[in-house]
Amino acid sequence: MNVEDVFSSRLRMKILKILFNVGELNVSEIARRLRINYISATKHLKILEDEGILQRKMFGRIRLYRVNEQSPKTKALQNLIDAWEHQNEK
Amino acid sequence: MSQGRSVFRDETKLDINYVPRRLPHREHELGLLRGFLGFALKSPGRMAQRVIITGDVGTGKTALSHRFGADIGHEASTRGINLRYVHVNCREYGGSLFLILQHVVSVFHPNFPKRGYSAEELLRTLMQILDEENACIILSLDEFESLVKREGSEAVYKLTRLQETRQNKPQRLSLVCILRNLDTVKQLDASTRSTLQSNIISLDRYAKQQLVDILNDRVSLAFEPLAVPEGTVTLIAELAFSESGNARFGIELLWRAGKYADAEGFDTVTPECVREAVSSIFPAMRRGDLATLGLHEKLFLLAIARIFKENQKASISLSEAEQTYTVVCEEFDASPISHTQLWKYLKDFSNLGIVETQVSGTGSRGRSTTISLPRIPAHELEKELRSFFEKRLEKS
C-alpha cells in the first residue's frame, strides 16, 4: 500500500496514537475506544499489520495488537506523532 | 525534643509490605524453600514443584515467601534466566481462580482484556505466554484458604495437574501455597491433596526472645539511635507473644507507639507510648470491670497505675506495688490488707486482662512476681480509679 493510502484514514492514525500510548490492546477494546464496530476495527488493524507497523498475538479467541518496535516504519511514525503532538501542546 | 523532629529515621521499614533483607529465626525455613524450588535456577523448565507454607497469623509466612521471591528473581536475572515470582493474595481476588489468573497474565500483558473467556482459557493463555517467552513462574498463592473455599478442589487440581495435559513440554509453573491451617488441604479431594502435600514448611509461633530479636532488627532500621529503650521492645515482644506470637502485630505496635512518642514530642518511645498504642488497637478499658472491683482491689490497682504513670518501666515487682499500695491506703484512710490477699487480687486483675504477671523461676531466695500493664495507658487507669474515689468522698 502507498504511504498516502495508509495514512489517508483518521481511524488508522487514531489506532496508532492509542497503541503508542498504551502499548498493547485487544480488538474489542480498540473498537470501544474509537467508538467504531469490531469489523471496522479489524479491517484497519489488518492494514497496519500488513504494513508491518503492528504485530498481532493470538491467545485463544483473544487477539492483541501492539506496535512492531522492530520496524523502521514504526520508529519513523513514533517520531512523527511525538513531534506533531508536542508541537500542538506548545 | 525540638519541634519537627521524630523518633523515626525511616518509618517505611515498619510498613506491612516491607520485606527486610534478613528474616531473623526464619533462616532454616528460607533454606528449605530454596531447597524445594532451587531447581528453577539450576534446570529451568525441567521440573515444577508445589510447596505449602503454613503457620499462624504473624509467623512470617508472607515475608518468607516474598524474601525468597525477591532473592530468586534477582539471582535468575543475574544468570539470564527468565524466571518470575508472582505473589497473589487470593482473598484480594475473592478466591476466584479467574481473577487470580487474570492478575498473573497482567504481569506479562497489562492490558489483557478483562472478560470474554473462562478460567481454563486463561490458564492456557498463561502457559502460551510462558512458552513464547521461554519463562518459568513461581506463583505464590497467599491466603490459599480463600481459593479452596470459593473454588474447591477443581481449581487447585487444574493448577497442580496442569503439566499432565502438556506432555513433553517444559514445566513452567511452580506453586507456593500459603495458608494458616493444613485442615484446608484436608477438604480437597484425594488426588488434588496428593499432588499438593509433598513439601510442607511449618512455621512455629515465635518465642518471646525471637520476637525481641525481630523487633530489635526493625528498631535499628526504622528508628533513630537510642530512640527505643530495651524495656519498650521487651514490652512489645510480650504483647506480641500474648497475641499468639504475632510478629506483625508487634511491628505495627512499634510503629504506633513511635507515632504516640512523636505526638507527645518525646525523644524516646516509652512503655506508656506502647500502652497508648495498645489501647487504640484493643477495645477501650472496660469501666464495668473496674466498677465491680472491691475497695482494696481498686486501691491496689491505683497503686500499680501510679507507679507505671510516674516512671517509664515496662514492668514492676509485686513488692514495689505493695509499698505504693500502703501509701495509697494511708491517703484514703484504709488499713492495708495482707500480702496473700493482694497476690490473689493480682491474679484476678490478670484474668480480667488489666495487668499481666510473670513469676520468676524458683531460686534459693524464693519466687518473685513481676507485673506489667501492657494494654491500658497508666494515666487513663489512674484517672478512672481516682474518679471512683472522688465520687465516694462526695457521697460521704
Q: Which residue has the higher pLDDT, B168 or B281?
A: B168
The predicted pLDDT at position A56 comes to 95
- Tens of pLDDT, residue by residue over A38-67, are 999 999 999 999 999 999 999 988 899 999
Average pLDDT (A23-31) is: 94
Residue in this structure with the C-alpha cell 479467541, named with its chain if needed: A61
Cα B281 to chain centroid, rounded:
14
Q: B112 to chain A nearest CA, in Å?
A: 7
Distances (CA, A) of B68 to B28, B31, B60, B379: 12, 9, 12, 45
Do residues B205 and B244 make contact, with C-beta atoms less than 8 angstroms apart? yes
- B-chain residue closest to A21, CA distance: B111
Residue A25 to residue B111, Cβ atoms within 8 A:
yes
Which one of B104, B108, B112 makes the best mutation probe of the A interface by having the most chain A beta carbons within 10 Å? B112
ipTM for the predicted complex: 0.77
Encode pLDDT of B271-320 as tens digits: 999 998 887 765 545 666 777 788 999 999 999 999 998 888 888 999 99
Question: Which band of pLDDT confidence, cut at 50, 70 and 90, is reported for residue B164?
Answer: confident
Q: According to CATH, where is 3.40.50.300 located in chain B? A: 27-203
| 8 Å CB contact of B125 and A62 | yes
Residue B238's Cα: distance from chain center in Å? 13
Contact B127, B162 (CB under 8 A): yes
* pLDDT value at residue B13: 95
B50-55 and B173-179 beta bridge pairing: parallel
Average pLDDT over residues B231-237: 95
Give contacts of A64 with chain B, Cβ < 8 Å: 109, 111-112
B104 neighbors B126 (Cβ within 8 angstroms): yes
Lowest mean pLDDT among A73-87, B27-41, B207-221, B319-333: A73-87
Domain membership of residue A55 as a residue range: 3-89
Looking at the whole model, is its pTM more than 0.90?
A: no
CA atoms of B24 and B9, how far apart (whole Å): 21
Q: How confident is the model at residue B140 (pLDDT cuts 50, 70, 90)?
A: very high
Tell me what pLDDT residue B247 has.
93
Q: Which residues of A touch B117 (CB under 8 A)?
A: 60-62
Interface test with B, best of A19, A24, A62 (most B CBs within 10 A): A62
Q: If you measure CA to CA, which chain B residue comes closest to A61?
A: B117
Report the Cα–Cα distance between both ends of chain B, in Å, rounded. Answer: 45
pLDDT at B3: 55
pLDDT at B354 over 60: yes
Retrieve residue B312's grid coordinates.
517509664
Alpha-helical segments (H) within chain B:
27-37, 39-42, 61-79, 97-108, 119-132, 144-160, 183-186, 190-196, 208-222, 230-242, 247-264, 271-281, 287-291, 295-310, 318-331, 339-351, 378-395
Distance CA B180, CA B182 (A): 7
**DSSP label at B223?**
B
Q: How many domains does chain A have?
A: 1
Tell me the C-alpha distance between B254 and B247, whole Å: 10
CATH node for B208-281: 1.10.8.60
Q: Please give, rounded to a whole number of angstroms, the shortest distance from the CA of B80 to a CA of chain A.
A: 22
The reply to whether CATH 3.30.1330.10 applies to domain B27-203 is no
- What's the confidence (pLDDT) of residue B242? 86
Residue type at position B370:
T
Q: What is the mean pLDDT of residues A26-33?
A: 94
| B107 in reach of chain A (CB within 8 A) | no
Q: B117 in contact with A at a CB cutoff of 8 Å?
A: yes
Residue B194: is its pLDDT beyond 90? no
What is the nearest CA distance from A60 to chain B, expressed in angstroms? 7
Task: Give the count of beta carbons closer than 10 Å to the beta carbon of residue B336.
Answer: 17
- Where residue B2 falls among pLDDT bands split at 50, 70, 90? very low
User: What's residue B285's pLDDT?
Assistant: 55
Q: Is residue B121 less than 8 Å (CB to CB) from chain A?
A: yes
- Radius of gyration, CA atoms only, chain A: 13
Q: How far is CA B278 from the centre of its chain?
A: 14
Whole-number pLDDT of residue B1? 46
Contact assessment for residue A45 and residue A27, using Cβ atoms and an 8 Å cutoff: yes
Report the half-sphere exposure of B153 (CA within 13 A, side-chain side). 11
- Report the residue from A22, A23, A26 with minimal CB separation from B113: A26
Q: pLDDT band at residue B363, thresholds of 50, 70 and 90?
A: low
So what's the pLDDT on residue B116? 81
**8 Å CB contact of B109 and A25:** no
Residue-by-residue DSSP string for B164-217: GGSTTS---EEEEEEES-THHHHTS-HHHHHHHSSEEEEEPPPPHHHHHHHHHH
CA R_g for chain B: 27
Give the 3-state secondary structure of residue B234.
helix
Task: Give the model's pLDDT for residue B165.
Answer: 78
Q: Which of A4-8, B23-27, B37-41, B357-361 has the lowest mean pLDDT?
A: B357-361
Mean pLDDT of B332-341: 91
pLDDT in tens, B67-76: 999 999 999 9
DSSP state of B162: G
Question: Of A59, A63, A65, A66, which to mutate for an interface test with B (greatest number of B Cβ within 10 Å)?
Answer: A59
Domain with CATH 1.10.8.60 in chain B: 208-281
User: What are B46-93's pLDDT values in tens digits?
Assistant: 888 999 999 998 999 999 999 999 999 999 999 999 999 999 999 889
Pick from B111, B117, B125: which is nearest to A22 by CB? B111
Identify the architecture of domain B287-395 in CATH.
Orthogonal Bundle (1.10)
CB-CB neighbors (< 8 A) of A31 in chain B: none
Look up the CATH number of the domain holding residue A49: 1.10.10.10
Q: What are phi and psi of B6, to 5 degrees?
A: -135, 155
Mapped onto helix, strand or coil, the DSSP state of residue B332 is coil
